Chain A
């Protein structure tokens, strides 16, 4: 086994995903304690140029038509053969629609240990964030190649970017036939009535709003503030608001001047989409809600007790 830390570089429709840079930054931390190098693993087709701004000591690149865009089987075969041939100390994957499909299967296929939802690595310790951000768990590398899935939050994307293109070594993908999973195409999101990523004032509602009828209250509030309403995933999954209003990992990334979070717990998947807001005000009756760790102002209160006095005072303001 060598001491290098590999990172499976994620890209989609010709663009590197931010999680790739975040993982390169984390890999740098880990490589410092193992004494190895940071190696980006890039799979694609005519995609070598994507490596240009990766902050890696080296990039291994495999080119194959079946690797043009992500489909799990082709990725799995290629990464499995690379790990078996080169036995890195660890390999980082995004805990994403790409990486999560690959890492766990490899853990079972190659009998390698897996740590998931890692947010930060320091002095060789892997810190995972679970239970919607309410619990942290610390573990370390196993004696064999360790598989890790990473979530954002612990590193800035810029920390994984570099002006100096890394050295590239190409490697051959294994035979990629009899694939059981194939990509048929992408479906672009429907454009909504508003683009919440461009709004300056957002009133965000979460499961704490309890029933659909209460959305009106948030709308009234938003109207006073000249803002727009958006939501966490459960609200959209209930069909109460369209997908275009969802903030977070599977929704939009927003950076408003004011993000007023009503009854949102602050799960990592939500925070990912709104942590860059200039000011965050959170109303939540759970004193331990993780949203209070990233908010500017926190109000530990039942939203329903607060809304009437607030609307009344806004009327007068």
Chain B
């Protein structure tokens, strides 16, 4: 029965307005709202699907961030067996993926995983995604862009995405790290009452990360919002005026 570890991080919620910090080299974290990385959510789903099919245990590991406990309890409500929070003063202000991957690797290996799943990438990655770094730090093979996983005879048979809907079937020896693009099913919903119940009954293991080593990431000279170059012609007005203008445009391109 496979031991599965899912690695999860919280990333900026892109629905909110993003701002640059005073030094001009990073995001302003004071007002930043963070949410689970979309693809990590798919990785958790895939981990639980494998557990439901093949048995085993699912451990979810995440670094400290605002809202991370709620996120972890949600994964428990979905079916994860163990929740681990990594803590370090620097996590809240953001660390690069090389530092995070070293911390993930150190903790993940304690669970002697057959499979480590994480999202294929995250929206704030600047020094590569976490998955392949963790794989190499643990000496495991890595495959990303994964959209399905079957475990057979000590190996994983995976579906890997290529452009245009083409997929490859690849075989990888275990233990391995996989970067999940989409789970076999969309992430499931759980009732908030179930999450609340977990908050009362389940416990999060807290693990103090000793030292964060960012080596391998590159220093950012400058971070900025994209310039409004070649911006769209904005159509203003109330609903009816905009609708009328749209109809003109549709006629102009021959759609009406």
Contacts and interface: CB of A to CB of B under 8 A. Distances in A.
Interface of A: 12, 17, 69, 71-73, 97, 100-101, 103-105, 107-109, 111-117, 125, 128-140, 142, 146, 149, 180-190, 201, 224-227, 234, 237-239, 243-244, 246, 249-253, 257-258, 265, 278-282, 286, 288, 290, 292-301, 305-306, 308-310, 312-314, 317
A108 B136 contact: yes
Most buried by B among A137, A239, A251, A299: A137
A20 B181 CA distance: 22
Interface stretch (B68-76, B106-114, B222-230): B222-230
Given A12-B162, A131-B12, A139-B218, 17 more contacts: A105-B135, A111-B216, A116-B125, A135-B225, A137-B222, A139-B126, A140-B218, A182-B171, A189-B165, A190-B165, A227-B255, A251-B164, A280-B232, A288-B225, A298-B233, A299-B242, A300-B234
B218 A101 contact: no
Contacts of A312: 243
Interface string B55-99: 000000000000000000000000000000000000000000010
Contacts of B179: 100-101
A146 B254 CA distance: 50
B136 A134 contact: no
B17 interface: yes
A189 B220 CA distance: 40
A107 B128 contact: yes
A131 B218 contact: no
Contacts of A107: 98, 127-128, 133, 216
B166 A187 contact: yes
B242 A298 contact: no
A224 B189 CA distance: 35
A309 B176 contact: no
A114 B128 contact: yes
Interface in B160-209: 160-173, 176, 179, 181-182, 185-186
Contact of B226 (A117, A133, A249): A133
Contacts of A238: 186
A265 B167 CA distance: 26
B166 A135 contact: no
A281 B141 contact: no
A309 B239 contact: yes
Given A187-B166, A281-B246, A310-B243, A139 B232 contact: no
A145 B232 CA distance: 39
Nearest to B136: A108
A97 B170 CA distance: 13
Contact of B144 (A97, A146, A189, A280): A97
Given A184-B169, A290-B226, A135 B136 contact: no
B168 A185 contact: yes
Nearest to A93: B128
Given A297-B233, A298-B233, A239 B246 contact: no
Interface in B3-20: 12, 14-15, 17-18, 20
Given A180-B172, A292-B232, A100 B163 contact: no
A108 B139 CA distance: 10
B247 interface: yes
A257 B255 CA distance: 9
Interface of B: 12, 14-15, 17-18, 20, 27, 38, 42, 98, 101, 120-121, 123-129, 131-133, 135-137, 141-145, 157, 159-173, 176, 179, 181-182, 185-186, 215-226, 228-235, 239-240, 242-244, 246-247, 249-251, 253-256
A108 B125 contact: no
B128 A185 contact: no
Contacts, number: 273
Contacts of A101: 132, 142-145, 179
A188 B166 contact: yes
A69 B173 CA distance: 19
A99 to B, nearest CB: 10
Given A181-B170, A186-B166, A279-B253, A115 B127 contact: yes
A85 B239 CA distance: 64
A262 to B, nearest CB: 12
Nearest to A188: B166
Contact of A186 (B17, B135, B168): B168
B141 A116 contact: no
A182 to B, nearest CB: 5
9 contacts: A97-B160, A108-B132, A108-B133, A138-B220, A139-B219, A258-B253, A279-B253, A280-B232, A294-B232
Nearest to B122: A130
B135 to A, nearest CB: 6
Contacts of A146: 218
B255 A100 contact: no
A134 B253 contact: no
A144 to B, nearest CB: 10
A284 to B, nearest CB: 10
A136 B129 contact: no
A121 to B, nearest CB: 14
A103 B42 contact: no
Contacts of B239: 301, 305-306, 308-310
